[in-house]
Amino acid sequence: MAASGMEVVHVDPTRASRHRAAFGIPKTDRADARLIASMTLAGECRAIVPNSPTAEALRVVAHAHRAEVANRAEALHVLRAALVRIWPVAVSAWPASVGGLRNPQARAVLAAAPGPRAAARLDRKSLAELLAGAGRTRAVEGEAERLRLLFCRPVMLLDPHVEEAEAVRIRYLLAALGQAVQQTDLLHGELEKRYTAHRFHQLLSRVPGVGTTLGAYLLAEIGDRPVERFDTGRSLAAYAGVSPVTWASGQTVRVAFRRASSTHLRSALHAVAFSMVGHSPGAQAYYGRHRAAGDAHATALRKLGRKVLLCLHYCMASGVPYDDAVAFGYDPAAADAPTLRREKPLDEMEIVRARDMLATPGATVTATARAFGVSRQTVYRHVLGRPRAR
């Protein structure tokens, strides 16, 4: 309606409900229409502040990117479930640290050999050609030998006719996953281009832990006119669903979760708060204080997201650049200033035990990683002191 040139106004539903209760108006469509019309004529409404076409275009692309990421995850889960049923080794052949089944190398090998029998017939030369064709440039022969030894292990086989039919299904699922990955990459490029053209791009780029995707998601929901749309930061926090709702009646006071909110902005803030805990010293200290006070993980992240959103609204309204020290109230030069702490996946005693385990004859990095519940990259980096060649 607003795009067609019509004047659109917003009537507060809480105020309308109070008017209805005060005048004893029944809850019907006709009565609601009369009530809203009378409130509009009396001036008890406010005009809708639209975003600029550039900000609205960013919002459209961001929603499309969200949907395509969900489609990619669904296609990946369906492919993994199909492989677990007939060939579980293929699922664990590519760890999550290199992208799992979404890795182009994994998709290239599975497209050429979608079943255990076909994979067992691949030699090292064929595997090396597939890996090189998928874009691998380092340690191609070593990776090909690893996959060859993995595919040659004895496994439970299905009937050849059934396995051939399952191979057709695997190839179809691989094609669906490849299309979803390609569409997601194309939309990410479009999202990045429109994100950099936003007027508040420089502000979001200064926030630790907020990259292109999260920053675009935030600006897509906040828009480029936050001061006109939201009078205060508290109004924006209520719109995002990170401010609680207080219900009071007599001696009873109850604080509840605000469900009437923008779900897209709320989920983006949750991801932003989670990322900032690992990249911002102030956010990490703020999160740690609330966790020590007894708050749950989601509650502490919601409070952190509210604080970040209030800071962003102030920066957008005043033009002051974002500063992590000012946002969380600490002096970086002080002796007691918070520092970014990164917990090691293995402590000193576990590293000594892992080295002793690797020193025994026949021990492998894979078995050691499984024994400690970590990835092989963690063993290479923290136990052996060198990155694993890929």
Query: Whole-number mean pLDDT of the chain?
Result: 90
Range 14-31 average pLDDT: 86
The whole-number pLDDT of residue 259 equals 80
Range 61-67 average pLDDT: 96
- Most confident by average pLDDT, 46-55, 300-309, 367-376: 300-309
Other CB atoms within 10 Å distance of the CB of residue 308? 26
The whole-number pLDDT of residue 64 equals 97
Query: Residue 322 gets which letter from DSSP?
Result: P
Q: Which two tokens stand for residue 390?
A: 């890929």
* Least confident among 102-116, 271-285, 299-313, 367-381: 367-381
Asked if 124 and 148 touch (Cβ cutoff 8 Å), the reply is yes
The whole-number pLDDT of residue 387 equals 58
The whole-number pLDDT of residue 247 equals 78
pLDDT at 390 over 60: no
- pLDDT category at 221 given cuts 50, 70, 90 is very high
- pLDDT category at 143 given cuts 50, 70, 90 is very high
Range 101-124 average pLDDT: 93
Asked if 158 and 166 touch (Cβ cutoff 8 Å), the reply is yes
Other CB atoms within 10 Å distance of the CB of residue 273? 26
Question: For the segment 225-259, what is each residue's pLDDT rounded down to a tens digit?
Answer: 998 888 899 999 999 999 888 877 778 888 787 88
